[in-house]
Structures are given as C-alpha cells and as structure tokens.
Amino acid sequence: DAGVTQSPTHLIKTRGQHVTLRCSPISGHKSVSWYQQVLGQGPQFIFQYYEKEERGRGNFPDRFSARQFPNYSSELNVNALLLGDSALYLCASSLGYRAGDYEQYFGPGTRLTVT
C-alpha cells in the first residue's frame, strides 16, 4: 500500500518568491495536517484539513495557506518567502479528526531552502 507522498522532495527558492507544496494522503484517509520542522527542533503544527475544511491552524502568519481537494490531497502555499521559512515541511494523514484517536502517518517531507 502506498504511504503518504509529498512533492517535490527538495526545493530552492529566493526571498520574496511563492512556493506550493503537495501532499497525497494514504488511500481512505480524510485528514491531512501540515507541519514545519526547522533544524534541531520538533515539527510545528501549521494546519489541519478534514473533509476539505480547515479544522485547525497553528501560530503561523497569513503568508501560509492551504487547501484540501475532493480527492483529499492537499496543497500548502507560502507567499513572500523569508529566509526563516527554510525547513522540512511534513504532511501527515490520518483516518479521523481527533489526534488522540487515530495514528498520524507522515510523508517523507519537502525540504525547502530559501536563499
């Protein structure tokens, strides 16, 4: 069975540019969450989408946005990139809505470098 897939694997952008990251959840999973992991830190929650609706948002600026499509895949968009946005962006999928009830499976991540 295919796991969570993310594209691209690596990306290099310059300050001020825009980036779109993509995630396909495990088949049958309706919840997708996005996390940012900077070097030396644990992942930080950005968004959760469940059944195509935003169900949670972390402490990130409005430059970060996301959406979920009818097939439950998701996109994370970041505008006006800053050097500090350089990080590993992880997508996690799960069957249900509540974090304590369902295991979340992480994709391999997209490594974004902003120069």
If one asks whether residue 70 binds another protein (CB under 8 A), the answer comes out as no
44: Cα separation from own chain's centroid: 10
Q: Which stretch binds another protein (CB under 8 A): 14-22, 39-47, 62-70, 71-79?
A: 39-47
74 lines the binding site for another protein (CB under 8 A)? no
Query: Smallest distance, Å, CB 62 to another protein?
Result: 19
84 in contact with another protein (CB under 8 A): no
22 binds another protein (CB under 8 A): no
Establish if 19 lies at the interface with another protein (CB under 8 A).
no
Q: How far apart are CA 42 and CA 109, in angstroms?
A: 14
DSSP string, 74-98: EEEEE-S--GGG-EEEEEEEESSS-
